[in-house]
A and B are shown apart, each in its own frame.
Chain A
Amino acid sequence: MNIIEVKNLSKKFHDFAAVNDVSFNVAEGEIFAFLGPNGAGKSTTIKMLTTLLHPTRGEITLNGFDPQKDSNSVRHSFGIVFQDPSLDDDLTAWENMEFHSVLYKVPKAIRAERIEKMLKFVDLWDRKDSLVKEFSGGMKRRLEIGRGLLHNPKILFLDEPTLGLDPQTRNHMWNYLRELNKTEKMTIFFTTHYMEEADKIAQKIAVIDHGKIVAMGTSAELKEQTKSDTLEAAFLALTGKDIREDSGSSLDTMRRMHRSRMGLKK
């Protein structure tokens, strides 16, 4: 059964087609990866799936609901870990979790128990009363994962989840998520640049470039299709070797400001 169905999805910003007639399906319980160079349209697609952006054209069905017509039902169906941190640094880990549980209408009676369970799951229970600004990058990611799962969603979206994390943390994180996928049949949809990650973890991969899906299949199928040994070689074969022209957007400036503000803490 498909838990996400996307048909002819497009998003245009003025004249620029960020996402251009994209179609794909994700089966329930599948680990699905979106692979693509900078500016390919990965984040834009996720934003449309998660009700943050309105598509220009096309249909999306997520857990049986349409994000445009039934946005709240869609929102209850997924959790998301964004590329840029979305925690409140001035609140404690517990307070961040509590905030989320109120927003997602987790019943008051089970709130504390659910928060405790998730904090323990991501190994942050002993830091529940610490302010998030004191956490390392890896701890923040873990907290975001715990938070995203608090309302028992069917799908977890992760946008470049391991960017900037050290190998141990990355390994830990994927272990949690694979556990979750196995035991709860949670669907995981993630975007990444890291080929080994996509290779080792994803069950189905879609390669997106210039807003279009150029290839889709298992890692083995993609390698077969491009007669390559590694997923990286397959990817380069599919998307070309040119470095992507990426203009320094105001987002990049803000990212730099944010990094210096955080004192280059990882």
Chain B
Amino acid sequence: MSTIYILWLRQIKRYYRSKSRMIGSLSQPLLFLVSLSFGFGSTFQKAGQGDYTEFLAPGIVAMSIIFSAIFFGIEIIWDRQFGFLKETLVAPVSRLEIMVGRTLGGATVATCQGIIVFFISMLIGFRIDNWSAFLPAVFVMFLIATLFTALGTMIASFMEDMHGFQLIMNFLVMPLFFLSGALFPIEGLPKGGAVLVACDPLSYGVDALRSLLTGVSHYGLGLDLVVLTLTTIIFLILGGYFFSKIEV
């Protein structure tokens, strides 16, 4: 069993052993999904934009992924002092292996959350165009998950305690989510808004999911994948670098 595998496995075990945490982290995305689609559904339809549930579901899937992935970063801060991270830092393994194992594990967990939200959204009427798009969509989910897990790791490498993390949540993660076109269409946004959305990597992730699952795309699937992949690689490198500089 290699180092990376066992670090990955550890994340998976921690996830499914905590049913309450699993359900708790699903509650917010589902709340958004149900309340917004029932709330705005008819308005959206009347504005000629079609079915809001269909529009919203990929955005909510992305929401559950980004939240799960960034929370993974909190784990590092806690682990750093109370756990497990010291055990890994003092072991004869490279920091890179540790980072890759943890990130892949965290990303897998976030992707699972996304998939669960996907299936639950089918319960409230979301329908996928074509099931052959499901696996590519899971791949995109994994890409988004990896990007934000690496970002979470990078940020957590700078923080000594939890307080700073709240700031990050409110001033970074929330804007990233709200400005990603997850909740509203990008077409027709005023120029300034459109620029902000275009700067948000999550926008391309949401757009890619929407493109695969519902056939509607603003940026085009090709551009989405290129931007996502490049940003993910950049954050993996940055995350890995800063993680390697952690001192306990």
Contacts and interface: CB of A to CB of B under 8 A. Distances in A.
Please determine whether chains A and B interact with each other in the same assembly.
Answer: yes
Interface of A: 47, 50-54, 71-73, 75-76, 80, 82, 84-91, 95, 98-100, 102-105, 108, 131, 250-251, 253-254, 257-258
A90 B87 CA distance: 15
Contacts of A103: 3, 6, 87-88, 91-93
Given A90-B13, A100-B91, A52 B248 contact: yes
B66 to A, nearest CB: 23
List 3 tightest A-B contacts by C-beta distance, closest first. A250-B161, A103-B91, A72-B92
Contacts of B87: 86-87, 99-100, 103
A108 B161 contact: no
16 contacts: A47-B248, A52-B86, A53-B247, A54-B247, A75-B90, A82-B86, A84-B81, A85-B82, A86-B85, A86-B86, A87-B87, A90-B17, A95-B13, A100-B87, A105-B92, A251-B81
A88 B14 contact: yes
Given A47-B248, A90-B17, A253 B161 contact: yes
A131 B17 CA distance: 10
Nearest to A250: B161
A102 B90 contact: no
Contacts of B129: none
Given A85-B83, A87-B84, 12 more contacts: A47-B248, A52-B90, A52-B248, A87-B87, A90-B17, A91-B10, A99-B10, A99-B87, A103-B6, A253-B161, A257-B162, A258-B82
A86 B161 contact: no
B81 A88 contact: no
A29 B48 CA distance: 81
A16 to B, nearest CB: 15
Chain B interface: which size bin?
A: 20 to 34
Contact of A102 (B3, B83, B248): B3
Interface in B141-196: 160-163
A85 to B, nearest CB: 6
Interface string B12-26: 011001100000000
Contacts of A71: 92
Contacts of A54: 247
A84 B6 contact: no
A199 to B, nearest CB: 29
B89 interface: yes
Given A52-B248, A91-B10, A254-B161, A86 B92 contact: no
B1 interface: yes
Contact of B13 (A84, A91, A257): A91
A108 B1 contact: yes
Interface in B67-92: 78, 81-92
Contacts of B93: 103
A131 B2 CA distance: 23
A85 B84 CA distance: 8
Nearest to B14: A90
Interface in B1-59: 1-3, 6, 10, 13-14, 17-18
B220 to A, nearest CB: 42
